[in-house]
């Protein structure tokens, strides 16, 4: 094995969680560093204050997440996430309304703790599998 690919260390926020998946395919060991004691389940933790807001996953991001973690969309839906046709959204940004009526997109809406906990469970399940 390439000696430089022995151990990867990333944060355990959203970016680190998602990056841990491809890293686990390439590195012998992946460590996630976090200040908070992370919950098992969809609970708030103080390091992510924005988790009080509903979160949307745009289709491109969700598709990439599904490639990394097959079945993750179904798992989120089963846990209570909503797949909503973009024509039903009324999104206002920068003082104007974003026209999504004809976009034909399916946007996922869920609480941030729900999204994070589903992905975190999948990442935890990678532990011990090796590259
Ligand atoms: C109000 C709001 C609404 C948003 N809505 C959406 C949305 O709808 N859809 C969307 O895709 N994105 C949304 N975002 C953006 C999204 O939250 C961020 O892009 C994403 O969380 C960034 O990931 P990150 O890993 O950089 O940071 P975070 O996910 O915020 O994670 C940071 C992590 O670092 C930890 N930490 C902090 N200090 C330390 C330390 N000293 N040592 C160790 N660990 C530490 C924290 O506990 C936390 O776990 C929103 C953001 C905000 C602020």
- pLDDT tens for each residue of 30-81: 999 999 999 999 999 999 999 999 898 988 899 999 999 999 999 999 999 9
pLDDT value of residue 115: 96
CA of 12 to the centre of ligand 1 (A): 10
**CA-closest candidate to residue 67, choices 6, 33, 25:** 25
Give me the mean pLDDT over the 90-105 stretch.
Answer: 84
**Ligand 1 contacts CB of residue 47 (under 6 A):** yes
Over the range 7-41, which residues count as b (16 or more CB within 10 Å of their CB) and which as e?
A: ebebebbbebbbbbbebbeebeebebeeeeebeee
Please give the Cα distance from 115 to 6 (Å, whole number): 29
Q: Looking at 15-19, 40-44, 91-95, which range is the least confident one?
A: 91-95
Please give the Cα distance from 131 to 116 (Å, whole number): 23
**Ligand 1 contacts CB of residue 34 (under 6 A):** yes
Please give the Cα distance from 19 to 14 (Å, whole number): 9
Residue 103, phi then psi, degrees to nearest 5: -70, -25
In the structure, what pLDDT confidence band is assigned to residue 84 with cuts at 50, 70 and 90?
confident
Longest dimension (CA), the chain: 54
As a whole number, the mean pLDDT across the chain is 90
| Predicted structure pTM score | 0.89
**CB within 8 Å of 11: residues ≥ 6 apart:** 32, 33, 34
Q: Whose CA is nearest to atom 32 of ligand 1?
A: 13
Q: Which atom of ligand 1 is nearest to the CA of 36?
A: 47
DSSP assignment letter at 12: S
**Ligand 1 contacts CB of residue 9 (under 6 A):** no
Percent of the chain with pLDDT over 70: 94
pLDDT value of residue 131: 56
Which has the higher per-residue pLDDT, 69 or 131?
69
Asked if residue 3 has pLDDT above 90, the reply is: no
Asked if residue 14 has pLDDT above 80, the reply is: yes
């Amino acid at each position: 094995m390439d000696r430089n690919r022995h151990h990867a260390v990333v944060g355990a926020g959203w970016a680190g969680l998602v990056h841990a998946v491809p890293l686990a395919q390439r590195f012998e060991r992946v460590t996630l560093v976090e200040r908070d004691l992370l919950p098992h389940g969809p609970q708030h933790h103080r390091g992510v204050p924005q988790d009080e807001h509903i979160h949307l996953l745009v289709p491109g991001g969700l598709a990439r997440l599904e490639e990394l973690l097959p079945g993750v969309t179904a798992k989120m839906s089963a846990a209570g996430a909503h797949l909503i046709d973009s024509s039903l959204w009324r999104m206002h940004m920068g003082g104007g309304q974003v026209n999504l009526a004809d976009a034909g997109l399916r946007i996922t809406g869920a609480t941030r703790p729900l999204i994070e906990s589903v992905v975190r469970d999948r990442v935890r399940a990678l532990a011990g599998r090796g590259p």
